[in-house]
Amino acid sequence: MKAAASRPNLVVVGSGMVGQAFVEECVENGLSAVYRIIVVGEEPRAAYDRVHLSEYIGERSAEELAIVAPDWYAQHDIELRTDVRVDAIDRSLAKLTLSDETCLEYARLILATGSYPFVPPIDGKDGPGRFVYRTLEDLDAMRAFAGSCERGVVIGGGLLGLEAANALRNLGLKADVVEFAPHLMATQLDPGGGQMLGELIAELGVGIYTSKATERIESDDDGPTRLVFADGESLATDMVVFSAGIRPRDELARDCGLELGERGGIVIDDACMTNDPLIYAIGEVALWQGRIFGLVGPGYAMAAAAAAHLAAEPEPRFAGADMSTELKLLGVDVASFGDAHARTEGARILCYRDEVARVYRRVVVSGDGSRLIGGTLVGDTHDYRPLLMKMRSQIDITNASAALALPAGLDRAGTDEGGVGDLPATAQVCSCNNVDKAALVAAIDGGAHDVASIKSATRAGTGCGGCAPMIGGLLSARLQELGHEVDQGLCEHFELNRQQLEDAIRAGEIRDFPTLLERCGRGGSGCEICKPVAASIFASTWNDHVLDPALVGLQDTNDRFLANLQKDGTYSVIPRVPAGEITPQQLMTIARVAEEYDLYTKITGGQRIDMFGARVDQLPDIWRALTDAGFESGHAYGKAVRTVKSCVGSTWCRFGVQDSVGLAVRIEERYKGIRAPHKLKLAVSGCTRECAEAQGKDVGIIATENGYNLYVCGNGGMRPRHADLLAVDLDEATLIRYVDRFLAFYIRTADRLQRTSVWLENLEGGLDYLRKVVVDDYLGIADELEAHLQSLVGSYRCEWKQTLEDPDKLALFRTFVNDDATDPAPLYVRERGQRRPLFEAEKV
């Protein structure tokens, strides 16, 4: 310890996100053994996640926002002094004066003091009910005051201002935003984008006042009463939040004569060193090549550079940072990248503005039109990453710039279903067989003009089959490029696509495949593509039993045996466990069945239990035992409603605001078994912590203090997609109505094997259009959609129960039509106490 005592002091001023990152770098590169590290922070606690500060309003606690464990400092022999401010730096003595009237010597000094919110010098800016938005204490104060308020206003319509407005809403207030500039988010967005954002946010009930200079804040004893603007107009309010920009906290540096920028900020070089070689500055307080970086990412890069320089390592150095961002503000998607404001000399602009679907898109290209150099997207940011990639890789876009300006799904509709057009040639499309895009394109160019021949030429799509939609998308895109006419039909037997077939079946009241083939087909007898599609449409239109004689031949093997086919030809069994709620008795039933038939048992990712290794001839007996105990089919085998995942919710959880399990049970009971173009997964979370992961589901419901927020079109799996917020604070009846409409609309219009996520991405008009149809009944079909869904709900029967009651259907479950023997082929070993099939190499 003697050596330790004599270590020179490395003092960090500011325990913010970047200061903390710096200390962690020091632990990693060994500097903490060389120096005695002391962190002095003015806030009452160690660094926390300021980026997610707003979630503190959403009931995330201070502990949950912490980014360091309480004992971390002790563990690493680092001293943390909180609630203490550094008041002065004496550079000649290399000494600090602290607000607790102690002094501290330093060998090296790191200034990580961040920034403070700028409050414009408005008459009446001080007093109760005025807030800034930077620290946990700021939010505590806002929360305490908001209790007695009805409406709040944010002065400043930048990124943070909009976050603050959302916080006001979450506190239950009517929120308004006042912005001096003519449009919102002026730093990131051009005027057109800012205006579209304003319109979208205004639709959510937030008042947007742009081009408004606030002259004074009037108040009474309780706090503010109204804002008065320079143009004489005024706005009533009960509280005011200032979010008019941030300023570097460079006062310490200024007082001790460190070099500052003209408009503030401590000047640093690539090693983050100031003009005093003993002092470094990092994070939002630092000014590099005339720029301040108001994001945490560049701050982290600075922390790494400073720590490396102190450790005499040559790398990394700070090299600036790209400020491209993609955000969701009050549920609106916004992205800005590169030279969004077209400041590059000669830059040219292409702009797309859709006031119907409310999508705005502007791309900035170099003067000669050959390079993408920036852009903004509002309302739909799906193309953000591909565009960013095109910009960063400097791809030649000569002649392609017009297409870049158009959202996917417009002129490119149908040609790029899987979104592969934007991928680079080296992107792996089929992960099972490691086939990249270039190989697929080569196969198509070499004459493979349908999916089957691409499969045999490249093996792509012959594994799990998950990449098939991408292969299909790539195929039609490439064929079009090559000047071929692309057949948009379902398969060689139908010229129509799924949606058109659905219309034909409904309008023509067609109930069997031969009739469908005769009326709509183009010859032949059908195949493994069109038959299951027809079966699916019949099921979601007429809801007859899938094993009825006219339908059984159309079913894929899973539907044909009402179980999931495994690789050895046996099946797995998943009873429905609505919302994941299960009694000990039910567990015992499952245990008994699994034991009797020696079924391998595991918990699924969907909150229920799967039993594997059942032979077709065993399925009816297994299901008899299960249905006798009250279980129903889980439809795990169908392109159908699967599970409604739930979290435990307000019944037990100390944070839950609604009974999420109860609602999930009701929802699963309502929609169970409904067949659709693809499987459907739902979830209900009891509060904003989202333990049920509802935003990864086709339909996600998150409880709020006032009801439920409805999210749609989320997806896990191959191409995960965050769900979009469709409507907020719904009561249960309205929620169900919207979900009914949503599901029916999807069932009627989606393509074959198209999850809701891809469906939405291809839906012209996107989310806004969907909202218009579902919420505003813009097409006037809401009643019809609800009636359709209700008819499916009304005609639900457990299809296993019905099968067990019907000898003709049971006859379908024999292994051999002419013999009671069973298939001797599957061979098993026991592993971890259960049975599993032999791997190929284990078979002798």
Partner 1 sequence: MSINNGTARCEQWQYVCAIQAIPESAGVAALVAGTQLAIFRVGERVYALDNYDPFSGANVISRGIVGDRAGTPKVASPVYKQSFSLENGACLDDEAVQLRVWAVRTVNGAVEVFA
Under the binding rule (CB under 6 A), the answer on residue 226 touching ligand FAD is: no
Interface region with ligand FES, contact rule CB under 6 A, candidates 269-277, 290-298, 365-373, 454-462: 454-462
CA distance 647 to 811: 41
Q: Which does 13 bind (CB under 5 to 8 A by kind): ligand FAD, ligand FES, ligand SRM, none?
A: ligand FAD
Interface with ligand FES (CB under 6 A), residue from 204, 432, 479, 648: 432
Q: Using DSSP, state whether 537 is helix, strand or coil.
A: helix
Tell me how far CA of residue 243 lies from CA of 7, 117, 185, 327, 671, in angstroms.
43, 7, 12, 18, 45
Interface with partner 1 (CB under 8 A), residue from 126, 137, 150, 528: 528
Q: In this complex, which beta carbon is closest to ligand SF4, that of residue 423 or of residue 653? A: 653
Residue corresponding to tokens 């947007």: 208
CA distance 421 to 540: 32
Q: Using DSSP, state whether 303 is helix, strand or coil.
A: helix
In total, the chain counts a number of residues equal to 844
Under the binding rule (CB under 8 A), the answer on residue 817 touching partner 1 is: yes
Under the binding rule (CB under 6 A), the answer on residue 283 touching ligand FAD is: yes
- Number of residues forming the site for ligand SRM (CB under 6 A): 11
Under the binding rule (CB under 6 A), the answer on residue 91 touching ligand SRM is: no
Interface with partner 1 (CB under 8 A), residue from 527, 588, 718, 787: 527
Q: Which does 467 bind (CB under 5 to 8 A by kind): partner 1, ligand FES, ligand SF4, none?
A: ligand FES
Alpha helices in 508-639 (DSSP H): 513-520, 530-541, 549-552, 557-561, 584-596, 619-628
Under the binding rule (CB under 6 A), the answer on residue 168 touching ligand FAD is: no
First to last CA, the chain: 65
Q: In this complex, which beta carbon is closest to ligand SRM, that of residue 72 or of residue 229? A: 72
CA distance 52 to 44: 18
Alpha helices in 426-512 (DSSP H): 437-445, 451-458, 468-481, 498-507
Under the binding rule (CB under 6 A), the answer on residue 51 touching ligand FAD is: yes
Under the binding rule (CB under 6 A), the answer on residue 195 touching ligand FAD is: no
Interface with ligand SRM (CB under 6 A), residue from 262, 345, 567, 654: 654
Interface region with ligand FES, contact rule CB under 6 A, candidates 77-85, 377-385, 425-433, 722-730: 425-433
Interface with ligand SF4 (CB under 6 A), residue from 347, 648, 804, 810: 648
Interface with ligand FAD (CB under 6 A), residue from 10, 35, 39, 42: 42
Interface with ligand FES (CB under 6 A), residue from 463, 489, 569, 716: 463
CA distance 129 to 141: 9
Q: In this complex, which beta carbon is closest to ligand FAD, that of residue 142 or of residue 644? A: 142
Under the binding rule (CB under 6 A), the answer on residue 798 touching ligand SF4 is: no
Q: How far is the CB of 64 from ligand SRM (least distance, A)?
A: 4
Under the binding rule (CB under 8 A), the answer on residue 569 touching partner 1 is: yes
Interface with ligand FAD (CB under 6 A), residue from 228, 236, 295, 405: 295
Tell me how far CA of residue 571 lies from CA of 510, 535, 565, 566, 628, in angstroms.
32, 21, 5, 5, 20
Under the binding rule (CB under 6 A), the answer on residue 464 touching ligand FES is: yes
Q: Which does 306 bind (CB under 5 to 8 A by kind): ligand FES, ligand SF4, ligand FAD, none?
A: none
Under the binding rule (CB under 6 A), the answer on residue 432 touching ligand SRM is: no
Instruction: Tell me the one-letter amino acid at 102.
Output: T
Q: In this complex, which beta carbon is closest to ligand FES, that of residue 458 or of residue 658? A: 458
727 contacts 710 by C-beta, under 8 angstroms = yes
Tell me how far CA of residue 154 lies from CA of 209, 219, 243, 333, 534, in angstroms.
10, 16, 7, 20, 55
Q: Which does 693 bind (CB under 5 to 8 A by kind): ligand SRM, partner 1, ligand SF4, none?
A: ligand SRM
Token couple for 125: 């800016």
**Could you tell me which residues are beta bridge partners of residue 236?**
226
Those residues whose C-beta lies under 8 Å from the C-beta of residue 421, and which sit 6 or more positions away, are: 412, 415, 473, 474, 477
Burial class (CB in 10 A: 0-12, 13-18, 19+), 144: exposed
Burial class (CB in 10 A: 0-12, 13-18, 19+), 754: buried
* β-pairing verdict for 130-132 and 239-242: parallel
Cis peptide bond prior to 807, omega within 30° of 0: no
Under the binding rule (CB under 8 A), the answer on residue 212 touching partner 1 is: no
Interface with partner 1 (CB under 8 A), residue from 210, 225, 462, 704: 462
CA distance 818 to 167: 70
Under the binding rule (CB under 8 A), the answer on residue 455 touching partner 1 is: yes
Under the binding rule (CB under 6 A), the answer on residue 782 touching ligand FES is: no
Interface with ligand SRM (CB under 6 A), residue from 647, 657, 674, 699: 647
CA distance 682 to 705: 21
CA distance 288 to 316: 15
Under the binding rule (CB under 6 A), the answer on residue 465 touching ligand FES is: yes
Under the binding rule (CB under 6 A), the answer on residue 467 touching ligand FES is: yes
Tell me how far CA of residue 307 lies from CA of 16, 47, 95, 379, in angstroms.
16, 18, 21, 40
Interface with ligand SF4 (CB under 6 A), residue from 235, 653, 781, 810: 653
Footprint on residues 678-707 left by ligand SF4 (CB under 6 A): 685-687, 689-691
CA distance 125 to 240: 9
What string marks each residue from 656 to 695 as x (binds ligand SRM by CB under 6 A) or -? ---------------------------------xxx-x--
- Number of residues forming the site for ligand FAD (CB under 6 A): 33
Q: How far is the CB of 430 from ligand FES (least distance, A)?
A: 3
Q: How far is the CB of 40 from ligand FAD (least distance, A)?
A: 5
Under the binding rule (CB under 8 A), the answer on residue 816 touching partner 1 is: yes
Q: In this complex, which beta carbon is closest to ligand FAD, that of residue 43 or of residue 333? A: 43
**Could you tell me which residues are beta bridge partners of residue 154?**
177, 241
Token couple for 223: 């706090």
Q: How far is the CB of 487 from partner 1 (least distance, A)?
A: 14
HEC string of 757-788? HHHHHHCCCHHHHHHHHHCCCCCCCHHHHHHH
Interface with partner 1 (CB under 8 A), residue from 295, 347, 826, 834: 826
Question: Vertex 187, ends 294 and 15: CA angle to 5°?
Answer: 15
**Residue ranges binding ligand SF4 (CB under 6 A):** 647-649, 653, 655-656, 660, 685-687, 689-691
- What does the binding site for partner 1 look like in residue numbers (CB under 8 A)? 452, 455-456, 462-463, 465, 492-493, 513, 524-528, 530-532, 549, 552-557, 560-561, 565, 567-569, 811-812, 814-819, 821, 823, 825-826, 840
- Write out the residues near ligand SRM by the rule CB under 6 A: 60, 64, 647-648, 653-655, 689-691, 693
